[in-house]
Amino acid sequence: MPAGVHRLVERFLGWVAGAGVVVLGMAIVLTVADIIARALLGRSLSGLVDITQLCVMVMAFWAIPYTFMRGGHVGITAATDWLPPRGRALLDALAAIAGAALVALIGIYGYEQAVMALRYGDSSQTIGIPMIWYWGALLSGCALSLLATVVIAAGRLATIVRGPHAQ
């Protein structure tokens, strides 16, 4: 896989993660506004829990793919440090393939639940946000995570074929 593709996908996923952080920032601003409204007006913002939950879902599922691309997840390398670069690349590729399978399964099962929520018209308890929005965050995050893990696996497999220092 050309390094340019990896960088392009990483940059795109960085923008998506940034958008997720902006969405979380909106939840923070609304939470602070709610605290101020309670203190000054004796009233709270209706539906803040629904909104905050949606914002956290968006942020989490949009940030996970970028974390994959940057290798920001927790890893234990003590067991693999002794391996040659191609051996580590093979394990990294296998881990990325396993990750791709996992997010694909989550996406498939999530899609089934999203269809059901859409069919039944499910909505959040307080202000009636359609539950499909929550499922949309999960599904879009799964699709982006699948992209990230496939790109990582392809890059690591290319390292195995070409060697760790080939460009």
Which of residues 167 and 47 earns the better pLDDT score? Answer: 47
Q: How confident is the model at residue 56 (pLDDT cuts 50, 70, 90)?
A: very high
**Tokens of residue 8, six digits:** 């392009």
Please report whether residue 12 resides in a domain: yes
For 1, what's the count of Cα atoms within 13 Å in the CB-facing half-sphere?
A: 19
Q: 123 by DSSP, 3-state: which? A: strand
Q: What is the mean pLDDT of residues 49-75?
A: 92
Q: pLDDT over 90 for what percent of the chain? A: 78
Provide the residue range defining the domain that includes 44.
3-162
Please report whether residue 76 resides in a domain: yes
Domain count along the chain: 1
Write 48-51 long-range contacts (CB < 8 A, 24+).
49/126, 50/124, 50/125, 50/126, 50/127, 50/129, 51/27, 51/127, 51/129
Say whether pLDDT at 1 is over 70. Answer: no
Tokens 């890893």 map to which residue?
A: 75
138-164 pLDDT, tens per residue? 999 999 999 999 999 999 999 888 876
Please report whether residue 141 resides in a domain: yes
Predicted model pTM = 0.88
72-103 pLDDT, tens per residue? 777 777 777 788 888 989 999 999 999 999 99
Say whether pLDDT at 40 is over 90. Answer: yes
Please report whether residue 167 resides in a domain: no
Label residues 150-164 b or e (16+ Cβ within 10 Å = b). bbbbbbbbbbbeeee
- The 10 Å Cβ neighbour count of residue 40 is 8
Say whether pLDDT at 166 is over 70. Answer: no
Say whether pLDDT at 30 is over 90. Answer: yes
